[in-house]
Structure 1
Amino acid sequence: MEISLQEITKDNYEAVCDLDVKKEQEELVACNMWSLVESMFNDGYVTRAIYADNEAVGFLMWVKESLHKVSIWRFMIDQNHQQKGIGRVALKLALREIRTYQDLKEIEICYMPHNPVAKDFYASFGFVEIGMDEADEEMLASIKL
């Protein structure tokens, strides 16, 4: 199975919008459709469809918050494609692409603090928890470059 990140276009946006997480994960991730709308009206938002072979199976969105910082705001794998190692490869590809930004010093990600799977998963890539966000709802973790 070949995993790739692809730009979201008029040819694949519907497939991305049709992706869903498991019912118990719905409160942990934003709707892909909302994220695509958000990306269309805000500068610095980058979206990618995660593909396994020729099928859209996930979604990523990151935001260039400043010259030195990129934050990964959305990351999901469709419920029918979880537990196959796709997310691990996709995040590795995303981090590789993000690291090409000039003058980048930090990559940040956030997740719900009651999600221990996310904590361990992101830590395996080098993300270190730095504390709760301003709203005290999500844990922030970052990689310093």
Structure 2
Amino acid sequence: MNITLSQITRDNYEEVCELEVAKHQEEYVAENTWSLVQASFNPSYETRAICLEGKPVGFFMWVPEPDGAQSIWRFMVDRQYQNKGIGRRALEIALEEIKAVGPKRILILYDPKNAVAKDFYASFGFIEIGIDEDIDEMLAEITI
């Protein structure tokens, strides 16, 4: 299974925008179209298509924080491609790419009621540091 992270271009952005999570996940994930709009007006935001054999099957977006950390704001795998190890491999690749820019920390937020997300991120070394009270989500970090 060949998983890669690719730049989003005029050739693949429509495929990325059409990706969808499962119905029960919709409340946790912003639409990819919205994320691409945000990134188009914020040049420091990094976006990637998660590709399986060259075909977009998921999406990532991470952003720099004022303190030099990097925050993963968006991470999704299309509902048809979930539970196949694609997300796990994609996050491994994304963490390598993020670490290469030299942050001291990598952050991620998720719904504290989402036990699957908690366990998944913990398996990569993310440690919960508390609830972000502005948006009522759990903040977890990897310190580098």
Query: Normalising by structure 2, what TM-score?
Result: 0.97
User: What residue number does 2:110 align with?
Assistant: 111
Provide the rounded CA distance (Å) in 2 between the counterparts of 1:32 and 1:105: 27
Provide the rounded CA distance (Å) in 1 between the counterparts of 2:89 and 2:49: 13
Provide the rounded CA distance (Å) in 1 between the counterparts of 2:47 and 2:135: 26
Provide the rounded CA distance (Å) in 2 between the counterparts of 1:122 and 1:111: 10
Which has the larger displacement, 35-44 or 116-125? Answer: 35-44
Q: CA deviation at 1:67?
A: 5.7
**Structure 1 segments unaligned to the other structure (5+ residues):** none
**Structure 2 segments unaligned to the other structure (5+ residues):** none
> Kindly tell me: are residues 40 and 136 of structure 1, through their superposed partners in 2, closer, same or farther at Cα, counting changes over 3 Å?
closer
The one-letter code sitting in structure 2 at the alignment partner of 1:120 is D
3-state SS, counterpart of residue 116 of structure 2: helix
Provide the alpha-carbon RMSD of the alignment: 1.0
Provide the rounded CA distance (Å) in 2 between the counterparts of 1:129 and 1:48: 25
User: What residue number does 2:130 align with?
Assistant: 131
User: What residue number does 1:84 align with?
Assistant: 84
Q: How many residues align?
A: 144
Moved over 4 A (4+): none
Q: CA deviation at 1:65?
A: 1.3
> Kindly tell me: are residues 53 and 142 of structure 1, through their superposed partners in 2, closer, same or farther at Cα, counting changes over 3 Å?
same
Verify the 8 A CA contact 1:44 1:65 in the aligned structure 2.
no
Deviations 1:79-109 (A, max 9, x none): 000000000000000000000113x100000
3-state SS, counterpart of residue 11 of structure 1: coil
Q: CA deviation at 1:44?
A: 1.6
User: What residue number does 1:15 align with?
Assistant: 15
User: What residue number does 1:69 align with?
Assistant: 69
Q: CA deviation at 1:135?
A: 1.3
Deviations 1:43-93 (A, max 9, x none): 420000000102110000000113620000000000000000000000000
Verify the 8 A CA contact 1:6 1:49 in the aligned structure 2.
yes
User: What residue number does 2:3 align with?
Assistant: 3
